A and B are shown apart, each in its own frame.
Chain A
Amino acid sequence: DTAVSQTPKYLVTQMGNDKSIKCEQNLGHDTMYWYKQDSKKFLKIMFSYNNKELIINETVPNRFSPKSPDKAHLNLHINSLELGDSAVYFCASSPDYRYEQYFGPGTRLTVT
C-alpha cells in the first residue's frame, strides 16, 4: 500500500525535451506539493496545490507547469529541459496545509 507514489523513478533525457512526472496519493489528503532536491541534497519547495487549487508557486521557471486533475494526483510537466534541471523531484501530500507532509520516493531526473 504505497501512500505517495511517483512515476517514473528514474528519467534520463536530453536537453530540449519535454517530460512529465506523475504523482498519486491514496491517503485522502487535500494538499499536495512538489519539491526539488539538488545534488547537494538541498530541498526546496516548488509548488503546492490544495483541493486542486494552486496555493504556492515559488520562483520556478515557466517551463515547469504543475497540473492537478483531481485531489489525488499532482503531475509536473517540464518543457525544454536544461542541464540545471537535473535533480531529484519529490512529491508530498498532507491532510491540509497545517499538517505534516508525507513524501513520495522521488524521481531522479538526469538531463544530458
Chain B
Amino acid sequence: AQSVTQPDIHITVSEGASLELRCNYSYGATPYLFWYVQSPGQGLQLLLKYFSGDTLVQGIKGFEAEFKRSQSSFNLRKPSVHWSDAAEYFCAVGAAAGNKLTFGGGTRVLVKP
C-alpha cells in the first residue's frame, strides 16, 4: 500500500528566507508525485507534479521539487518566501491504476514579517 509522510507539522520561516518542505513516500512502482497548497478556507491548488523524466520539477509561484528515488523523497523548495505563501502544504502520491491519491498529513507554513 502506498503512503506519504510529511515529518514537519509546522514550519515558521521569515519573509525572504528560503523554504524546504520534506516529503517521503512509500510505493512499490514508479510513483506519480504531487504537491498541493491549501490556503485557509480554500480548496487545494496544484503546485507541481512529477510523473517521469527530469527529477527537478518547476511549479507555480516559484516552487520547485526534487524527486530522489534512492531516498524515496520529493521535497518542495522555494528560494525566497513571501507572506502570501503562508498556507498548508500537502504532498501526495498517486497509484498507476485509478490514480487514487494518498496524501501526507500536511505541513503548515507560517511566515514571519
> Which A residues have a C-beta under 8 Å from some C-beta of B?
4, 31, 33, 35, 40-45, 48, 50, 55-56, 90, 92, 94, 97-106
Contact = CB atoms under 8 A, between A and B. Distances in A.
Contacts of A99: 99
Nearest to B46: A100
Given A43-B90, A94-B99, A100-B49, 8 more contacts: A56-B100, A90-B43, A97-B97, A97-B99, A100-B46, A101-B46, A104-B43, A106-B43
Nearest to B99: A97
- Interface size class of chain B, counting residues whose CB lies under 8 Å from the partner chain: 20 to 34
B46 to A, nearest CB: 5
Contacts of B103: 42-44
B88 A41 contact: yes
Task: Give the 5 A-B CB pairs with smallest separation, nearest first.
Answer: A97-B99, A103-B44, A43-B103, A105-B43, A103-B43
